[in-house]
Chain A
Amino acid sequence: MGDLSMSRGPGDPADARTPRRSFLARILALGSTLLLIAAACGGGASQAPATEPAASEPAASAAPTEAPSLGEVTVGSNYSDQVPKDAFAAMLNYCATQTTATPKINTVEHGAFQDSINSYLQGTPDDVFTWFAGYRMRFFAGQGLATPISDVWAKVGSNYSDAFKQASTGDDGEQYFIPMYNYPWVVIYRKSLFADKGYTIPTTWAEFKTLATKMQADGLIPLAFADKDGWPAMGTFDILNMRQNGYQFHVDLMAGKEKWTDSRVKDVFNLWKELLPYTQPNALGRTWQEGAQSMINKEAGMYFLGTFAGEQATDPAIRDDLDFFPFPVLGNQWDSENAIDAPIDGLMISKSPKNLDGAKALLECVATGPAQLEFLKASPNNVAAAKDADTSGYTPFQQKMAEIIGKSGAIAQFLDRDTRPDFAGPNGMQGFLQTFLNDPNLNLDTYLGTIQSFYDSLPPQ
Chain B
Amino acid sequence: MTDPANRGLGEPAAPSGRRRFAILPGPARRRFSLLSRRDKLVLGLMVGIPTFIHVFFIWLPTIASGVLSFTSWNGIGLDRIKFIGLKNYADLFGGIYPPFWPAILHNVLWLVVFLLIATPLGMFLAVLLDKEIRGTRLYQSAIYLPVVLSLAIVGFIWQLIYSPDQGFINNLLGTAGTPQAIDWFGNRDLNLWAILVAASWRHVGYIMVLYLAGLKSVDPSLREAAAIDGASERQTFFRVVFPVLRPINIVVLVITVIESLRAFDLVFITNRGLNGLELLSVLVTNNILGEASRVGFGSAIAMVLLVVSVGPIILYLTRSLREEAA
- Name A residues whose Cβ lies closer than 8 Å to a Cβ of B: 1, 4-5, 7-12, 14-15, 17, 21, 24-25, 28, 31-32, 35, 114-119, 122, 136, 143, 145, 221, 228-230, 281-286, 290, 293-294, 299, 421-422, 425-428, 430-432, 434-435, 438, 450, 453-454, 457-459, 461
Q: How big is chain B's contact interface, by range? A: 35 or more
Asked if A285 and B164 make an inter-chain contact with CB atoms under 8 angstroms apart, the answer reads yes
Asked if A299 and B187 make an inter-chain contact with CB atoms under 8 angstroms apart, the answer reads no
B130 within 8 Å of A by Cβ? no
Asked if A299 and B177 make an inter-chain contact with CB atoms under 8 angstroms apart, the answer reads yes
Asked if A28 and B271 make an inter-chain contact with CB atoms under 8 angstroms apart, the answer reads no
- Bound Cα distance A60, B306 (Å): 44
Asked if A4 and B7 make an inter-chain contact with CB atoms under 8 angstroms apart, the answer reads no
**Interface of chain A, main secondary structure:** helix
- Bound Cα distance A11, B1 (Å): 7
Asked if B7 and A14 make an inter-chain contact with CB atoms under 8 angstroms apart, the answer reads yes
Closest 7 CB pairs of A and B: A285-B186, A284-B186, A421-B291, A282-B183, A285-B183, A422-B292, A459-B72
A458 to chain B, nearest CB (A): 8
Asked if A5 and B290 make an inter-chain contact with CB atoms under 8 angstroms apart, the answer reads no
- Bound Cα distance A397, B278 (Å): 40
B6 within 8 Å of A by Cβ? yes
Find chain A residues with CB under 8 A from B183 CB: 281-282, 284-286
Asked if B42 and A28 make an inter-chain contact with CB atoms under 8 angstroms apart, the answer reads yes
Find chain B residues with CB under 8 A from A228 CB: 185-186, 271, 275
**Interface of chain B, main secondary structure:** loop
- Bound Cα distance A222, B185 (Å): 23
Asked if A136 and B291 make an inter-chain contact with CB atoms under 8 angstroms apart, the answer reads yes
| Of A1, A8, A421, A459, the contact of B206 (CB 8 Å cutoff) | A1
Find chain A residues with CB under 8 A from B177 CB: 294, 299
B221 within 8 Å of A by Cβ? no
A238 to chain B, nearest CB (A): 18
Asked if B274 and A282 make an inter-chain contact with CB atoms under 8 angstroms apart, the answer reads no
B98 within 8 Å of A by Cβ? yes
B97 within 8 Å of A by Cβ? yes
Interface string of B165-207 (1 = CB under 8 A from A): 1100000000001010101111110010000000000000010
Asked if A459 and B291 make an inter-chain contact with CB atoms under 8 angstroms apart, the answer reads no
Asked if B42 and A4 make an inter-chain contact with CB atoms under 8 angstroms apart, the answer reads no
B61 within 8 Å of A by Cβ? no
For window 14-72 of B, CB contacts with A under 8 Å fall at: 14, 42, 45-46, 49, 53, 72
A107 to chain B, nearest CB (A): 19
A66 to chain B, nearest CB (A): 34
B272 within 8 Å of A by Cβ? yes
Asked if B3 and A14 make an inter-chain contact with CB atoms under 8 angstroms apart, the answer reads yes
